[in-house]
Structure 1
Amino acid sequence: MSTVNVDFAKDIERVNKIPLITTLLDVVCQVTGMGFAALARVTEDRWIACSVRDDIQFGLIPGGELKVETTICNEIRDSHQAIVIDHVRESDTFCKHPTPLMYGFQSYISFPIILKTGGFFGTLCAIDPRPAQLENPKIIGMFRLFTDLISFHLQQIELLEQSQLEVAEKELARQQVEKSESQYRNLSDTLEQQVQERTRQLQETIYDLQRSNANLQQFAYIASHDLQEPLRKIQSFGDLLQAQHAVELGKGADLVVRMQTAARRMSGLIKDLLTFSRISTRQEATSSVPLNQVINTALQDLEIPIREAGAHIEIDLLPVVHGDFGQLGQLFQNLLSNALKFRQQDVPTHIQIRAQITPATALPASVKPARKVAMYHRIEVTDNGIGFDSKYLDRVFQVFQRLHSRSEFSGTGIGLAICEKVAINHGGAITAISQPGLGATFQVYLPTIDEPISL
């Protein structure tokens, strides 16, 4: 992209309108341990800092500029691929690269910011004169989430600016129309409808921004505090106490066991919360996903509990849908895991998975898919387990809502909330039919593959 058509001042202004942009850069530095982080606008011939955190006196402020040809971001602009370097001196690719030597860094991470139109905006990057451990799923996942959120916010801000301009233009038109009473009468109804529609669109934009901000705050809080590490230490110290001091502990050994059980439960809860956060915020391009393959993968992961339950599972020929294979796998693995967990002890476990086409006009009144299309796949997962009272239907899909105590059934109370988020991300919905003692049927509605849908 040539700088002829780029308003860098406007881009810097838009970036700094993003809520929590400063907090985002703070979290990047805190989680990676690096001293410099920036959001940069990158074109063919310019590299401009839009927002900066600088703890190493690198010397850049918002509006500051580097020669684009001296940056690794320029290579990312060409490839649209992230670059991660733990230690420049030990990197076969970058140990002799001129950029680290020029700018004096040993660790580097930079992810592209791709707009929803497919255009390249710039990068979210960080550097430090010391090596850093960056090649791990937590940091990679964090950068992907943050660049997706930045792209989303930039798009919404641009839409909001366009909306404000359109509203201003319509107001000017209305004032001109007032000069002629006859023209005003002819156009007033149309203008009123346009203002109402624009107001609705603005309200939807505000809601999307608020939801995105809430997800960003949740993820940043969990990631920056790194809750898993102290839990691992608690479990390790508990193992040492049991192995080396069981005799001295006496009756206190039971307290150690309870402590480790609580730590394991907390660890599982944190993992489920991170999964829920990622699924709540991911909005990536989709591909065709065969649901039979998704189910088979879930069954392999659940091989041991299936064998322990002696479960018989019937699977019909399932459709191919647009979606994310991993998210759909999480959805159906959670439903199958629940069917195995909440089984009746004295009855052979039987699970059936079926599918059929359902027109939008035949959907139950309580089912409201995230995307309106003409036809939906209805995939049903039916079991003969303990079931539940249908009056609790709304509760079962809420985070931390449990219908049974932990002493009866293990779990964090997040699994079905994840299922609902996946269904919504795929333009669909999920509901259930159940009675106590008569099993449950979970119904997942997904748009048919000939319907346009994006996550």
Structure 2
Amino acid sequence: MPDPTPLPPLSDPALLSDIAEIGRIKAVPRILETVAHITGSRFTAIARVTDTTWTACATYDTLGFGLVPGGQLMLETTICDEIRNSGTPVVFAHASQHPRFSQHHTPRIYGLESYASVPIFRPDGSFFGTLCAIDSAPGDFDEAHILRSMELLAELVGNYLDTEERLEKAQVELSDAHQVAELRDQFIAVLGHDLRNPLQSISIVTESLELEPHSDRQQRMYDHITASVTRMEGLVSDVLDFARGRLGGGIPLALRTADSLDNALQQVVNEVATATGRSDIAVHMQVAGNVMCDPNRLAQLLANLLTNAAQHGDSTAPIELDVQADSDALVLTVRNGGHIRSDRLASIFSPFSREKGERPRPGLGLGLYIAAEIARSHGGTLTVASSEGAGTAFTFRMPNVAA
């Protein structure tokens, strides 16, 4: 049997991609073996056929034809170019006795007697190539049966191609999304860090101005600047905490044995009451002994929960704070009369989880996310329960390992 016409090594990126795409389909070797079995042919292949090239993408060869994936034939020497133009399969069992193909150049060039080739279409209808089987000996098969079977297998290959394409596209999009998210979080971390330097400079200047004589108007301006700097410092701290949580390091803690945690938490209650105008915060605390924690971070957690209750809860219902601590655990619960819809509960601790159309509120929408991260850093949990009748309760639980 004549060797296939040699062509230069394949370098076309598009064709190399097509070969790789077929190579990723695990069922292709079994499909080619099945075609060989039903046709009795010793060479089967899946070929990518364009208007200028015939390229083997996968082969099964016990004939010694010599084509491997990436091997090419001159397009004009094949029947596949005719199949590409017509979209019609070609099947014959005995070329030398066939009324048409006994005179065709392809069987003569390659010494073929049996031949079966059907088009492979992608699900969108575009032509990819052919599924073919050849042999130098006549075939012993029913041409109509072979045609139906090979068309089914070619359709299977086409569907696999579509699945592989969509999977590859999804993987690329997922990788791009991960890279964008990582760059975004790194940018936020750098931005938050760099913003602190000018803020510290402003704070130093305002403290110096406070020591100098000034008019009532200057005092009001000074108070306004001080309040703005304090708020900006809080925003920058939230951004840094957010970045630490998202970059996987978690919010850092300065753990120590706190012997007056209840006093620190009560101070937070007083500050939030003043800042929000809520004088109806009912407090019940029973803190027995020491608590191993970062008191500043727990104060931040409580401030975020109380501020959230004041801003989003029912303003006509009091806010309740219950703190219970003993040698085993610390449990802190903030209740308010508001109600959170069930479809929002799953994402309540996600960053920037405000609903579209929600009226603007102070802050970045990171309070609950940061509170949950503080809870996690303490080895604890922050959960929420909400119903129209009972209102909303945020509960922080952590083990207490204080000596």
In the superposition, the TM-score normalised over structure 1's length comes to: 0.38
> Structure 1 or 2: larger helix share?
1
Higher-Rg structure is 2
